[in-house]
Amino acid sequence: MLEGNRVSRISVRGFAVASATAVTAVGSVVGVASGSTAQNNDAEATATGATLLADIPAGQQAQVQTASLTQQADAQAIQADASAKKDAEEAARKAAAETAIAKQEAAKKAAEAAAKERAETKAAASRSKDVADFPVASSYSIAQIQAMARQLVPSGQFQCFSNIVDHESDWNYKAVNPSSGAYGMFQALPGSKMSSVGADWRTNPATQIKWGLNYMNERYGSPCDAWSFWQANHWY
């Protein structure tokens, strides 16, 4: 038997056992009063349980109940935290997947747009005037050479094309690099590469322009792609 207020704590399990015993004791007493044939030792055991419950001071019974409610609240909080964490992880996975899909779609569209632009550039180049369309002269001014280039190079690519020529030769179709021997407006090395367009590659700016445009399209996709490479590397 517990003595007075010396009991400072009691487990929830103990309280539950005592309560159950007390209920059993009450049932046994009622059974005996109504003529039940239950054995006396059962009645004594349940009576002992009832005495245990009665021996717990009222204040400490409240502590037991409070501890039980606290444990229940803690368990519910842990369960809620776990559920919230799981939901957050699932949301993060979903967001990451959606972001990856969006990036893939954007990259695909960019690649398709670039391919379309290159195809249009090549088609425009094939429709442009040919070298033979320009009269041959003994010499050409920069203005005349640039006028040829505007007729051979697609308008949307001309500025990039012009930027490269500006840096390579300043539109001098007879420019020679003294150390490497690179020749012409595009500093072809060797200059004889330009013979694929015409045997007059040394003296005809139109031949050089046609060769330079073909080179940029075949190697980089377009003059603007070639210019982007030139800006990053200072050669092309």
pLDDT in tens, 60-114: 767 777 878 888 888 888 988 888 888 888 888 888 888 889 888 888 888 888 7
User: What is the Cα–Cα distance from 229 to 236, expressed in whole angstroms?
Assistant: 6
User: Which tokens hold the place of 148?
Assistant: 């040829």
Burial class of 160 by CB neighbour count within 10 A (0 to 12, 13 to 18, 19+): buried
Confidence at residue 121, expressed as pLDDT on a 0 to 100 scale: 63
User: Which tokens hold the place of 183?
Assistant: 């020749």
The class (CATH top level) of 128-233 is mainly alpha
Confidence at residue 165, expressed as pLDDT on a 0 to 100 scale: 98
User: Which tokens hold the place of 78?
Assistant: 């842990």
Confidence at residue 123, expressed as pLDDT on a 0 to 100 scale: 58
Which residues in the chain land under pLDDT 70? 1-59, 61, 120-128
Confidence at residue 56, expressed as pLDDT on a 0 to 100 scale: 63
